[in-house]
Amino acid sequence: MDHINIKTLGALKASNYKSLSVKDELRKNLIRQLKNKEEGFEGILGYDETVIPELQTAILSRHNILLLGLRGQAKTRIARLLGNLLDEYIPYVSGSEIFDDPLNPISWFAKHEISIHGDNTSVSWQHRSERYTEKLATPDVTVADLIGDVDPIKAATLKLTYNDERVIHFGLIPRAHRSIFVINELPDLQARIQVALFNMLQEKDIQIRGFKLRLPLDIQFVFTANPEDYTNRGSIVTPLKDRIESQILTHYPKTIGISRKITFQEAKLTEEQKGIESDGLVKDLVEQVAFEARQSEFIDQKSGVSARLTISAYENLISTAERRMLINSEKTTSVRLSDLVGIIPAVTGKIELVYEGELEGPAKVANTLIGKAIKTLFVRYFPDPEKAKKSKTANPYNSITEWFTEGNTLDLSDSLTGIKYKKELMRVTGLYDLVKKFHPKLSENQTLLLMEFVLHGLAEHSQLNKKYLDGGFGFSDMFESLFNTGVEDEEDDNDFR
């Protein structure tokens, strides 16, 4: 940009530079972006038909914006990306605390500088990366933090009365003049602070300890809020909510495909971890756990299930496989279903349980969600075991269930070496043949994964018994477990304590 070489107000005027308000600036650059069909919100997935069009409409309307949605719906990231729509550089009066526009100064300092130096007033340039301010609303935020306060040291040093504008120490909002200012979790802000904020939006004046100052700040406000906060912690005062012209509702990914893209975009894996084979099935299972959680009666749906659940869960899944590889001194490994025990800490830390869920316990709820995810996806890969059992044709699972009926059991821990893992699965009569019948072109690792998947699927459809081991799962005959329910239940309860 040629303008940044300009160092004085006179040269700025001679260049025919035109100042725009921050809202007009965002609008101008969005129009150019839309006309050129450029990608505007990189990394924001699943909002192409919903949130982003509404956001673009709000910017074209030059509105202040409220992003309303549950946790983990990319509200803050969207706000931060708005900075890309600002001009790369804008001029300001050198030394101004609030980065006054040289062509439209509003502070005493800038007006005084221009009155003394005229066209020789020094001009500096501010990059768009410096024109974004973000504040997390907490109950302890004060008017002084956001708007400012009288500085008695300034008054004494400059020998000024408190009636002079120069004694004010500006807060975050005045310092965000000509910028984007974001307040996260707005309902957490005390009502009296929200009223002060509204006064600044509506009347364009500042009132600090009886001092009244007309200061027409130029700010693009973006607020974020969680609907849960309206009842649990606070609310947005009506006059302020009325002043925020556009309220945009965010949402969770609507399909597993989009959810997967978000997870892999955000998951932080090392180069070594990226070499661990992870089949599409286990990736889908991780996403399905979140989808099941968002429908579970054990989980507080008002609190939401963050997209961070699947990101953390996938990282843990890969790390569980990596740990096994390191312990067994193997050079490679692939993710197994028994590794799903490793995602439980990621799940339990990301869900808010209702009373019934608390009675079950977080670990048991997490295991239930994993089981439901397996059951949901199983029928996409293999015939429905319940329908197969009732069908007049031969049941494809008969040889597998009969093997367990004969008294055989199978324990699959997440610490088994690759050789032992394969050996254990191959013991089950008919298991390999079933997988090859429905998925003949898979690699060996994929085939073994689906063999394990069949056992989990049959267990979730009540054709086999599945028990939870330390770091894995054990499978046995369904009827045998019925005769040992007392012992099994006691063991299970101990697992979840």
pLDDT tens readout for residues 426-436: 999 999 999 99
Tell me the pLDDT tens digit for each residue of 438-467. 999 999 999 999 999 999 999 999 999 999
Last residue of a domain, one of 248, 271, 294: 248
User: Do 58 and 168 lie in a common domain?
Assistant: yes
199 touches 241 (CB < 8 A): no
User: Do 239 and 371 lie in a common domain?
Assistant: no
Tell me the pLDDT tens digit for each residue of 164-206. 677 778 889 989 999 999 999 998 888 888 887 877 777 666 6
- Residue 479 scores a pLDDT above 60: yes
The enclosing H or E element of 446 equals helix 444-460
146 touches 171 (CB < 8 A): yes
Last residue of a domain, one of 248, 275, 296: 248
Residue 138 has a pLDDT of: 85
Q: Total domain count for the chain?
A: 2
Residue 65 pLDDT class (50, 70, 90 cuts): very high
User: Do 260 and 168 lie in a common domain?
Assistant: no
Q: Which domain holds residue 112?
A: 2-248
Whole-number percent of the chain with pLDDT over 90: 65
- Residue 414 scores a pLDDT above 80: yes
Tell me the pLDDT tens digit for each residue of 214-234. 778 899 999 999 886 544 456
Beta bridge partners, 331, equal none
Residue 413 pLDDT class (50, 70, 90 cuts): confident
Residue 492 has a pLDDT of: 46
- Cα–Cα distance for residue pair 219/224, rounded to 1 Å: 16
| Domain of residue 475, CATH code | 1.10.8.80
User: Do 465 and 366 lie in a common domain?
Assistant: yes
pTM: 0.84
Residue 491 pLDDT class (50, 70, 90 cuts): very low
- Residue 488 scores a pLDDT above 50: no
Burial 409-433 (b: 16+ CB within 10 A, else e): ebebbbbbebeebbebbeebebbbe
What would the two tokens of residue 257 be? 């495909």
State the residue for tokens 């949130």: 51
User: Do 233 and 262 lie in a common domain?
Assistant: no
User: Do 243 and 268 lie in a common domain?
Assistant: no
How many CA atoms within 13 Å lie on the side-chain side of 7? Answer: 1
Residue 490 has a pLDDT of: 44
Tell me the pLDDT tens digit for each residue of 25-43. 999 999 999 999 988 888 8
Residue 20 has a pLDDT of: 94
Which of 189-203, 337-351, 373-387 shows the lowest per-residue confidence on average (mean pLDDT)? 189-203
The strand pair at 123-127 and 65-68 is best described as unpaired
Q: What is the mean pLDDT of the chain?
A: 88
